[in-house]
Amino acid sequence: MKRKFVSDLKTNAMRKFIFNFLLLLPLFMMNACGQSNAKQNTTQKSNAMENVISKPNNPYYSNTDATKLNVSDAEWKKVLPPDLYAVAREADTERAFTGTMWNSETKGTYYCAACGLRLFKSNQKFTSSCGWPSFFEQDNKNSITFKDDNSYGMKRTEALCGRCNSHLGHLFDDGPEPTGKRYCMNAISLDFVPDGIAPTESKGNTETIVLGGGCYWCVEAVYEQLDGVQKVVSGFSGGTVENPSYEEVCTGNTGAAEVVQITYDKTKTNLDEIFQVFFTVHDPTTLNRQGADVGTQYRSVIFYKNEEQKKAAESIINELNTKNVYSSKIVTAVEPFKAFYAAADYHQNYYQNNKNQPYCQMVIQPKLEKFEKVFKERLKKKH
């Protein structure tokens, strides 16, 4: 990757790319984001990508993100069907022999029906006469947590989802070897996916990367135009607070940054180009600041998901520093990706939906026009 980039630098295209930084510098002086009064404070879990199961009405649902959720029952009531809500959030118990899951032997994976966390594999299941799906072992030590349950005059151990803390059922000591445990689960609390259906993430040539370059409206508008980019979602990443609200992020105390999650086709674009665009449309030399926007939430940051992304990020930063493309040193942070929280729908495609607003005309549009000049051969074909 590094050798490839060095050779790129020697090409005319790359020289032109670096030259164009000079054209862009005045943009960095502008107020990067006059956004605060327009933004809403709700955030959503990203669930559109990488899921085996799609639940468009449940923004917290993810089959790949095991980050703990802290969602109120009032919120769950809005996104879960009433019968699942009664079991998951009010510890209701479904009638025995409900459905066919209790005696199913189909090979596959069981997920939490409320949040999508992987709970069991079918080889951890056994057919119990009790009439509820029963397992002798959980997927991993974090997938299910336990609590003493003394309701109904009984001394039982309640089993809860390790991610969303929803009620799943109970744990008993009368299961088969090797564990001797019996996880007695409500079928309604489980989603089952037969083997052979792989998450979309592992399929084909699609990859995602999360970048923070100040106001996400601006960064999103630019990447939406780049050929090979399939999807751009505005949201938050990094920091210490799970699923932070926009208002929390605005305080600058959460450590979370405004970011975009970019899904791209590796056969049509690549990390080098994604990063070239990134370093063209924001100022990577101002620490925790873009224009008039100041705070760690506006920091320049690359959240890498694998070694390849980390190396590519460090490589381009090193190259741009070595070539003195900027008058100051690049301060872009390269941090490991942990979680991404999509911002509310209102923030998505903000530029496209609000072109007539002064902020869009004054701040985003000039950036977009410069980007379109620099990368004019790389724009998506207009429909």
Q: How far apart are CA 72 and CA 90, in angstroms?
A: 12
Q: Which of 130, 301, 125, 100 is nearest to 213 (CA)?
A: 301
Length of the chain: 383
Q: Which is nearer to Zn ion, 112 or 260 (CB)?
A: 112
Q: Which is nearer to Zn ion, 190 or 271 (CB)?
A: 190
Minimum distance between the CB of residue 363 and Zn ion, rounded to whole angstroms? Answer: 40
Q: Which is nearer to Zn ion, 92 or 272 (CB)?
A: 92
Concerning whether 112 is annotated as a catalytic residue, the answer is: no
DSSP states along 82-129: HHHHHHHHH---PPTT-SSGGG----EEEEETTT--EEEEGGGEE--T
Q: Which is nearer to Zn ion, 14 or 117 (CB)?
A: 117
Q: How far apart are CA 308 and CA 134, in angstroms?
A: 41
Q: How far apart are CA 215 and CA 249, in angstroms?
A: 12
Q: How far apart are CA 358 and CA 30, in angstroms?
A: 13
Angle between helices 307-322 and 2-9 (to 10 degrees): 30
Q: Which two tokens stand for residue 375?
A: 């990368």
Catalytic residue among 33, 112, 215, 218: 215
Minimum distance between the CB of residue 293 and Zn ion, rounded to whole angstroms? Answer: 36
Torsion of CA 265, 270, 276, 280, to 10 degrees: 0
Minimum distance between the CB of residue 161 and Zn ion, rounded to whole angstroms? Answer: 3
Minimum distance between the CB of residue 25 and Zn ion, rounded to whole angstroms? Answer: 48
Q: Which residues lie near Zn ion (CB under 5 A)?
A: 112, 114-115, 117, 161, 163-164, 166
Minimum distance between the CB of residue 338 and Zn ion, rounded to whole angstroms? Answer: 18
Minimum distance between the CB of residue 61 and Zn ion, rounded to whole angstroms? Answer: 9
Q: Which of 211, 335, 228 is nearest to 279 (CA)?
A: 211
Q: Which of 344, 355, 25, 368 is nearest to 221 (CA)?
A: 368
Concerning whether 184 is annotated as a catalytic residue, the answer is: yes
Catalytic residue among 164, 184, 218, 250: 184
Minimum distance between the CB of residue 116 and Zn ion, rounded to whole angstroms? Answer: 7
Residues sharing a CB contact under 8 Å with residue 115, sequence separation 6 or more, in sequence order = 60, 61, 62, 69, 161, 163, 164, 166
Q: Which is nearer to Zn ion, 49 or 117 (CB)?
A: 117
Q: Which is nearer to Zn ion, 163 or 370 (CB)?
A: 163
Q: Exposed, middle or buried by CB within 10 Å (0-12, 13-18, 19+), for 216? A: buried
Q: Which is nearer to Zn ion, 128 or 165 (CB)?
A: 165
> What is the CB-side half-sphere exposure of residue 40 using CA atoms within 13 A?
12
Active site (catalytic) residues: 184, 215
